[in-house]
Amino acid sequence: MLPSVFLVFPASCGLMARIGFSGHPLTQTPSFNFSDIALVEPLQRAVRESGYTTPTPIQIEAIPPLLEGRDLLGCAQTGTGKTAAFALPILQRLAANRRRVAGKHTRVLVLTPTRELAIQVHDSFRVYGEHLKLKYAVVYGGVGQGNQVRAMSTGVDILVATPGRLLDLIDQRYLVLDGLEVFVLDEADRMLDMGFIQPIRQILALLPKRRQTLFFSATMPPNIEKLAASMLTDPVRVEVTPVSSTAELIAQSVMFVDKARKKDLLLFLFKDPKLKRVIIFTRTKNGANRVADLLDANGISAEAIHGNKSQSARQRALENFREGKIRALVATDLAARGIDVDNISHVINFEVPNVAESYVHRIGRTARAGAQGIAISLCDAEERSYIRDIERLIGQPVPVAADQPFHSESIAQARGSTAPSGNNQRQQRPARNGQGGGRPGKPGRNSRGRRR
């Protein structure tokens, strides 16, 4: 009955756990705002204009230490918001300490493996730095070098580059790395896969010893670990990965429903005997109690677990759930951490999480150990934008299940115009400044994600 999309989580950062990396605190701080991060007003404004409301986990974890000047080792994939996580504090640092840059010099170097990524990162810096008067350049191979040489001739604050062209320009003395303050190595694992270890070593040898270094990689095999250790000084470690390191298959759907009808829809769903062992997520403790009471009152055995319950009550509820004595466990994000129950048939988001990463963690409770799981999100009008954020994060649309008696077409319609399509990691944002459907985070793309 439900349309489904399968979300496959790639294995990543496996070794980081071994060397003591901790998970991100997203689930502990679901109501974190950008205003809670000490970013200056021009950056807060740019973030608002980009349509971001809440920082992603990597932004929550990485921005404060980066603002303090710490080195950083980030295990994160594209799509986690990592570009803003490093661009925002770097921009703040430069703006707080303005300096005239000599010709051919740069204060910041971001190294990326591909030209596409270089262009995207450069675009992001320009968007986030829109209200700061800083100079940016991007250099990459496969095109004439004339414009790039010209851009560098008067010096820039931030340079984004691919390794080969960067070294070419350095060899020709069009570019100098003396006086560099911040170095970012992005997608280190991909760099090594592409055979860039030698160029990276050459570039490292040219960098000033005193600098801030940021190192990002989606995976941490030993050779990457070694490279990171050789570059970083007492780094802060940040890991942002999907909830499990094994591939999982989850059939997802979203049901649009008026807030007042959510309870009816939930009871309707429970008429299906396939809902055997179900975790239901709510945003608040009171919400969890109310949903558990509702189910119980309607003959569906359920218990709530959340921070206000004693440890023993939580334990008991979990045992009952594990043993199949109750059909549903209603939980808040926080309480659900550490729940390790196999054969969960369904995850139901009674309330859509306002932090996209929470969604991935929630639905990861089902489909463990290769089993197929089902995740259903009940979305009211106020939560529509959360679904958009989720789709952006997971890089695919969540299919709409409209064949249910409480379907709200008006909510579905309101969503339609900006829902991403296809299986593109980098999704569209709503139009900005009344212009086309470009994506403020990464401008200059048309609606198919192709460069204009």
Q: Which residues bind ligand AMP (CB under 6 A)?
A: 52, 55-56, 59, 78-84, 389, 392, 426, 439, 441-442
Q: Please report how close the Cβ of residue 64 comes to ligand AMP at its closest, in angstroms.
A: 15
Q: Which two tokens stand for residue 428?
A: 């569209």
Amino acid at 186: D
* Long-range contacts of 311-319, Cβ-Cβ distance < 8 Å, separation of 24 or more: none
280 backbone dihedrals φ, ψ, rounded to 5°: -115, 130
Q: Please report how close the Cβ of residue 315 comes to ligand AMP at its closest, in angstroms.
A: 36
Task: Give residue number: closest CB to ligand AMP.
Answer: 441
- Smaller CB distance to ligand AMP: residue 54 or 345? 54
Q: Please report how close the Cβ of residue 393 comes to ligand AMP at its closest, in angstroms.
A: 7
Cα–Cα distances in angstroms (integers) from residue 90 to residues 40, 46, 84, 95, 364, in the given order: 12, 14, 10, 9, 33
- Smaller CB distance to ligand AMP: residue 129 or 287? 129
Q: Please report how close the Cβ of residue 400 comes to ligand AMP at its closest, in angstroms.
A: 21
- Smaller CB distance to ligand AMP: residue 81 or 235? 81
- Smaller CB distance to ligand AMP: residue 51 or 164? 51
Nearest to 245 by CA among 65, 89, 368: 368
- Smaller CB distance to ligand AMP: residue 82 or 327? 82
- Smaller CB distance to ligand AMP: residue 79 or 141? 79
CA distance 332 to 270: 20
Q: Please report how close the Cβ of residue 144 comes to ligand AMP at its closest, in angstroms.
A: 28
Q: Please report how close the Cβ of residue 99 comes to ligand AMP at its closest, in angstroms.
A: 27
Number of residues in the chain: 452
Q: How many CB atoms lie within 10 A of CB 340?
A: 8
Q: How many CB atoms lie within 10 A of CB 44?
A: 16
Q: Please report how close the Cβ of residue 52 comes to ligand AMP at its closest, in angstroms.
A: 4
Q: Do the Cβ atoms of 106 and 180 come closer than 8 Å? A: yes
CA distance 292 to 115: 52
CA distance 239 to 86: 14
- Smaller CB distance to ligand AMP: residue 351 or 389? 389
Cα–Cα distances in angstroms (integers) from residue 99 to residues 154, 155, 207, 254, 291, in the given order: 13, 11, 18, 50, 57
